[in-house]
A = this chain, B = another copy of it.
Amino acid sequence: MAAHRSGPSAFTIASILGLSRPEQRSNMSIPYRPWADVPSTQNCHTVTADGSLEVAAEEEKSAITAPVESCRRTLNWYIGRRPRTAFSSLQIEILESVFQVNSYPGIDLREELAQKLHLDEDRIQIWFQNRRAKLKRSHRESQFLMVKKVISGLQGRDQQ
Contact = CB atoms under 8 A, between A and B. Distances in A.
A152 B68 CA distance: 13
Interface stretch (A20-28, A107-115, A140-148): A140-148
A155 B43 CA distance: 11
A152 B64 contact: no
Contact of A42 (B141, B145, B155): B155
Contact of A138 (B44, B64, B138, B149): B64
Contacts of A159: 42
13 contacts: A41-B152, A41-B155, A42-B155, A45-B148, A45-B149, A60-B138, A64-B138, A64-B141, A65-B141, A67-B145, A67-B148, A68-B141, A68-B145
